[in-house]
Amino acid sequence: MDWKLFASTFAAIFLAELGDKTQLATMTLAAGSKSRWIVFAAAALALVATSALGVLGGDLVARLVPIKWVHRAAAVVFVVLGVVMFVTTLREGRGE
Protein backbone atom coordinates (compact mmCIF):
# COMPACT_ATOMS: atom_id res chain seq x y z
CA MET A 1 0.00 0.00 0.00
CA ASP A 2 1.23 3.48 -0.85
CA TRP A 3 1.07 5.08 2.61
CA LYS A 4 2.40 8.43 1.38
CA LEU A 5 -0.46 8.69 -1.14
CA PHE A 6 -2.93 7.54 1.50
CA ALA A 7 -1.73 10.12 4.04
CA SER A 8 -1.62 13.02 1.58
CA THR A 9 -5.10 12.20 0.25
CA PHE A 10 -6.51 11.86 3.77
CA ALA A 11 -4.93 15.14 4.90
CA ALA A 12 -6.10 17.06 1.84
CA ILE A 13 -9.70 15.84 2.07
CA PHE A 14 -9.85 16.15 5.85
CA LEU A 15 -8.61 19.75 5.81
CA ALA A 16 -10.81 20.68 2.85
CA GLU A 17 -13.91 19.37 4.62
CA LEU A 18 -13.29 21.09 7.97
CA GLY A 19 -15.75 23.94 8.33
CA ASP A 20 -17.19 23.11 4.91
CA LYS A 21 -20.91 23.51 4.25
CA THR A 22 -21.16 19.71 4.26
CA GLN A 23 -19.81 19.54 7.79
CA LEU A 24 -22.08 22.37 8.90
CA ALA A 25 -25.12 20.66 7.34
CA THR A 26 -24.18 17.40 9.07
CA MET A 27 -23.82 19.20 12.41
CA THR A 28 -27.25 20.79 11.94
CA LEU A 29 -28.86 17.47 11.05
CA ALA A 30 -27.23 15.74 14.02
CA ALA A 31 -28.26 18.51 16.41
CA GLY A 32 -31.90 18.22 15.34
CA SER A 33 -32.01 14.44 15.37
CA LYS A 34 -32.46 11.78 18.01
CA SER A 35 -30.45 9.27 15.97
CA ARG A 36 -27.01 10.74 15.45
CA TRP A 37 -25.63 7.40 14.24
CA ILE A 38 -28.03 7.41 11.29
CA VAL A 39 -26.91 10.96 10.43
CA PHE A 40 -23.27 9.81 10.71
CA ALA A 41 -23.84 6.73 8.54
CA ALA A 42 -25.74 8.67 5.88
CA ALA A 43 -23.18 11.49 5.80
CA ALA A 44 -20.28 9.02 5.63
CA LEU A 45 -21.96 7.08 2.81
CA ALA A 46 -22.64 10.32 0.92
CA LEU A 47 -18.97 11.35 1.22
CA VAL A 48 -17.86 7.90 0.05
CA ALA A 49 -20.24 8.12 -2.93
CA THR A 50 -19.04 11.57 -3.97
CA SER A 51 -15.43 10.47 -3.52
CA ALA A 52 -16.09 7.42 -5.72
CA LEU A 53 -17.50 9.72 -8.42
CA GLY A 54 -14.40 11.89 -8.13
CA VAL A 55 -12.06 8.92 -8.45
CA LEU A 56 -13.98 7.49 -11.42
CA GLY A 57 -14.11 10.91 -13.08
CA GLY A 58 -10.41 11.45 -12.46
CA ASP A 59 -9.60 8.04 -13.91
CA LEU A 60 -11.67 8.78 -17.01
CA VAL A 61 -10.03 12.19 -17.51
CA ALA A 62 -6.57 10.65 -17.00
CA ARG A 63 -7.29 8.13 -19.76
CA LEU A 64 -8.35 10.84 -22.22
CA VAL A 65 -6.13 13.82 -21.35
CA PRO A 66 -2.39 13.92 -20.59
CA ILE A 67 -1.76 14.66 -16.90
CA LYS A 68 0.22 17.84 -17.66
CA TRP A 69 -2.92 19.31 -19.29
CA VAL A 70 -5.03 18.29 -16.30
CA HIS A 71 -2.57 20.12 -14.02
CA ARG A 72 -2.59 23.17 -16.27
CA ALA A 73 -6.40 23.24 -16.44
CA ALA A 74 -6.63 22.91 -12.65
CA ALA A 75 -4.15 25.76 -12.22
CA VAL A 76 -6.15 28.00 -14.57
CA VAL A 77 -9.40 27.20 -12.75
CA PHE A 78 -7.85 28.02 -9.37
CA VAL A 79 -6.39 31.29 -10.67
CA VAL A 80 -9.72 32.30 -12.24
CA LEU A 81 -11.59 31.48 -9.02
CA GLY A 82 -9.04 33.46 -7.02
CA VAL A 83 -9.42 36.48 -9.28
CA VAL A 84 -13.22 36.27 -9.14
CA MET A 85 -13.13 36.10 -5.33
CA PHE A 86 -10.66 38.98 -5.16
CA VAL A 87 -12.76 41.19 -7.44
CA THR A 88 -15.94 40.26 -5.56
CA THR A 89 -14.31 41.19 -2.26
CA LEU A 90 -13.15 44.54 -3.66
CA ARG A 91 -16.65 45.31 -4.94
CA GLU A 92 -18.24 44.38 -1.62
CA GLY A 93 -15.77 46.65 0.16
CA ARG A 94 -16.91 49.61 -1.97
CA GLY A 95 -20.59 48.82 -1.44
CA GLU A 96 -21.33 47.89 -5.05
Q: Which amino acid is at 81?
A: L
pTM: 0.67
Helix segments in 32-66, DSSP class H:
36-64
Average pLDDT, the chain: 92
- pLDDT at res. 20: 85
pLDDT tens-digit map of 44-61: 999 999 999 999 999 999
Whole-number Cα distances in Å, 50 to 10, 17, 34, 43, 93? 15, 13, 26, 11, 35
